[in-house]
Every structure is written in C-alpha cells, then in structure tokens.
Amino acid sequence: MLAGKRILIIIGGGIAAYKVLDVIRRLKERGAEVRAILTRSAKEFVTPMTVGALSGEKVFSELFDPTEEQDIGHIVLSRDTDLILVAPATANLMARMANGIADELATASLLAAAAPIIICPAMNQRMWAHPATQRNAARLAADGIRFIGPAEGRMAERGEAGVGRLSEPMEIVAGVEAFFAEAEQPKALAGRHVLVTSGPTIEPIDPVRFITNRSSGKQGHAVAAAAARAGARVTLVSGPVSIPDPPGVSVVRVETAREMFEAVFAALPADIAVMAAAVSDWRPSEVAGEKIKKVAGGPPPLSFIENPDILATLGHTAQRPAIVVGFAAETTNVEANAARKLAAKGADYIVANDVSPQGGVFGGDRNSVRILSASGVEVWPTLAKDEVADRLIGMIAERLG
C-alpha cells in the first residue's frame, strides 16, 4: 500500500521526536520514500544524522541555506510529495501552522504545501487542553488538516498524565495507510458539480431588525462536506451561520432568500442540487429605510409577501440538475407534508425531519430523517448529521450511476 508513496515528515521540537525515528523506519519497510525536515528546535531532540541514516535521504532544516536551496528548494520539497506528516506537532508548531507563519523551512514548506497534511500532536496535557491550542486545532481541522491522536497516557513530566501523548508509531503508520486507502477509493462523484444551500435566510424589517429562523446550517454544511469527500466540485450557498466553512468547498455567502435565489441560479449548471437551507417563506413587504421608532400608538403593523421558492423553481427549470433534493422541516404530519412537497417542488427526493422543539434537531448534531421519493418512504435511524450526509450522498451517487 505504501510502496512508492512519497512522504515528507516534518519533525517538531518535542520530547516525542525520538519516536518518529521508528515511524520513519516502519514507513520505509513498507516501501515509502521518506524525506524529512527538522524544525530548528527538533535538532535539540534528534540529530539530522540519525534521521538521514534512517530515511536514506538528505535531511533539510534551514530555509535560506544556499546549498540546500540549490539542492532542492522548499517549494519543491513540499510539492513533490504525496503526503506531509507532521510529528510530533508541538503546541508551538500547531500555532504557527494555524496562523500561516512561515518563519523557518518547516513552516514555510507547510504553507507552500499542495499535498494533504496529517499532524500528530504531542505536548503536555495542559498545553493540549488550553483554549488557545484547542482553537488552533479547530482552525487546522477546518483547513482540511487531518489528525492522528493525541493519545492519552503518561507524560514525559514525572507524575503527569492525560491527553497529549504522541500516538504510538504503529498507530501513526496505520493512520497513514488508512489515509492512502481512502484517497485511492474510486470517488463516487468525481467530475460532478454539486450545489448545496444551507443555513437560514434573514429578511430585513428595517436597517437594524430582521426575521429569521433557528437553522444552524449543520445538516447542509455536512452534505456539502460529504459531497466534497466523494470527489465532487461543490458550491455551497449559505445564509448567515456560525459554523466553519466545510473543507474543499467553495462558499457563497448570502443573507436574504432573493440573494440565495440569485446565487443558486448563478451557480448552474449542476449535476446535483441539495436544498437544505431553511429559506424564509415570507419577507416583510416593505423594508423601512430608517430604524422604525417606538411610538405611543403601539407596535407597527407588519405585513409579509412571499419569497421566491428556490427549490420549486429549480425543480421545474430547463437547467434542472439531474438530481434535485429538498428538505422538509415540519413539526406536524411530517410524512404527509413531505409527500406533497415532492410533487409540488419537482424534487427527486425529500428529506423529511421533525423539527418540533422536543426533537432537538435545530442546532443539534443528530437528525432523524425519512427519505421520500417516487419509490416510497425510507425511514433512517437517528444518526449524526455527518452520517445522514454521507448516506444521502451515497444514495444520490448510486442513483446517478
């Protein structure tokens, strides 16, 4: 599996650096070509000589060393590789990565990297648990960087234990193998364009007030991420949400239903459309130019007009994607209402979920859905929103053939 794979290992300056020597040895045993960059502080823990002897390659460390840059520049170093493995990823190295700091060869190469990156964090458990490190880890994950570990156990410091240990060398090797196994799976949606809407829309009343709904965007964003994992080019048109952009997806941010409508039609053609946004069905018929004043006569009357139905328009347009999926967020008669929507909206599938407050679907991480199509109703068990997304994308990919 690893035969001929070009792996660039970036070794950070932590006490666990010695374990990476074993990782290099085992990757080499499995046929990988391993090159290594040491951070400046890594040289305090392992020597370039040892790393070079194990990898069988010249070891790099200095950014502007004339001989190294002539030999092979840092840009080439990070491009001519199938995977970059950062181990141990210290708290400091993670912080630099999360902020795009390129202050030495290791970090410059990470910033210039075109290849996928896996990091193996290793640090004292208090450093790992610190909000700053957790923030950096979340940022790196949102940037599409994968993690192996950290593991739980004893620390280098006497008497200390917790989460923060470098994963064992064999676990790291298994993680690398799993990465290549997944990367080599044929991608079900390669070459397809998938258009997803997500989140709520907000509809202004005056310059400071608006109406909206409780959609978090979690399910729609999960669908976009799943489509990207399946190899599709993904356009995500999202209303205002407070969750990060999914990795590998191009995001168009909108506020109102009409902006969402424009963005959806501007993104066509698409092979698949999944309309998971909770679009406001109505908007105030007039938007006041100035903030509406509180006056003695009582609250102002509000009247509404209907928003364009993005899904129904898409479902009946000449540019209709081959597969159109709608969502039905209902609090009563979930299935009957969803069945009506299937026909009315010209959709191939309606994903029906019960959003009554006791279900905790809005804003929650799990979803219980039923899938309605011409061939009937499928009831899915309660699943994480990510799993609902993966299943949905799998079902669509199968239908597309």
Active site residue ranges: 213
As measured in angstroms, the least distance from the Cβ of 179 to ligand C5P is 34
Interface with ligand C5P (CB under 6 A), residue total 14
d(CA 18, CA 21): 6
Q: Which of 92, 197, 235, 353 binds ligand C5P (CB under 6 A)?
A: 197
**192/341 with CB nearer ligand C5P:** 341
As measured in angstroms, the least distance from the Cβ of 344 to ligand C5P is 8
As measured in angstroms, the least distance from the Cβ of 268 to ligand C5P is 14
Which span (63-71, 110-118, 241-249, 276-284) binds ligand C5P, by CB under 6 A? 276-284
Binding mask 245-274 for ligand C5P (x = CB under 6 A): ------------x-----------------
Q: Is 157 in the site for ligand C5P (CB under 6 A)?
A: no
Which span (35-43, 84-92, 118-126, 277-285) binds ligand C5P, by CB under 6 A? 277-285
**166/328 with CB nearer ligand C5P:** 328
**180/265 with CB nearer ligand C5P:** 265
As measured in angstroms, the least distance from the Cβ of 347 to ligand C5P is 8
Q: Which of 8, 105, 237, 279 binds ligand C5P (CB under 6 A)?
A: 279
As measured in angstroms, the least distance from the Cβ of 7 to ligand C5P is 43
Per-residue burial over 66-105, b if 16 or more Cβ lie within 10 Å, else e, is eebbeeebbeebbeebbbbbbbbbbbbbbbbbbeeebebb
Q: Which of 106, 194, 241, 328 binds ligand C5P (CB under 6 A)?
A: 328
Q: Which of 60, 128, 210, 327 binds ligand C5P (CB under 6 A)?
A: 327
Q: Is 224 in the site for ligand C5P (CB under 6 A)?
A: no
Q: Is 222 in the site for ligand C5P (CB under 6 A)?
A: no
**71/281 with CB nearer ligand C5P:** 281
Q: Is 309 in the site for ligand C5P (CB under 6 A)?
A: yes
**109/215 with CB nearer ligand C5P:** 215
Q: Is 389 in the site for ligand C5P (CB under 6 A)?
A: no
As measured in angstroms, the least distance from the Cβ of 241 to ligand C5P is 14
Q: Is 326 in the site for ligand C5P (CB under 6 A)?
A: yes
Which span (71-79, 88-96, 326-334, 375-383) binds ligand C5P, by CB under 6 A? 326-334
Instruction: Check the CA dihedral 118-122-125-126 and report its sign.
Output: negative
CB atoms within 10 A of CB 253: 14
Q: Is 324 in the site for ligand C5P (CB under 6 A)?
A: no
As measured in angstroms, the least distance from the Cβ of 382 to ligand C5P is 20
Q: Is 362 in the site for ligand C5P (CB under 6 A)?
A: no
- Between the alpha carbon of residue 108 and those of residues 17, 88, 195, the distances in Å are 20, 17, 34
Q: What are phi and psi of 73, to 5 degrees?
A: -70, 165
**148/223 with CB nearer ligand C5P:** 223
- Contacting residues for 361 by C-beta, under 8 A, at least 6 apart: 329, 353, 354, 355, 367, 368
Which span (205-213, 237-245, 304-312, 382-390) binds ligand C5P, by CB under 6 A? 304-312
d(CA 55, CA 21): 9
Which amino acid is present at 104? E
d(CA 135, CA 312): 40
Q: Which of 65, 103, 152, 281 binds ligand C5P (CB under 6 A)?
A: 281
What is the contact surface with ligand C5P in residues (CB under 6 A)?
197, 257, 275, 277, 279, 281, 307, 309-311, 326-328, 341
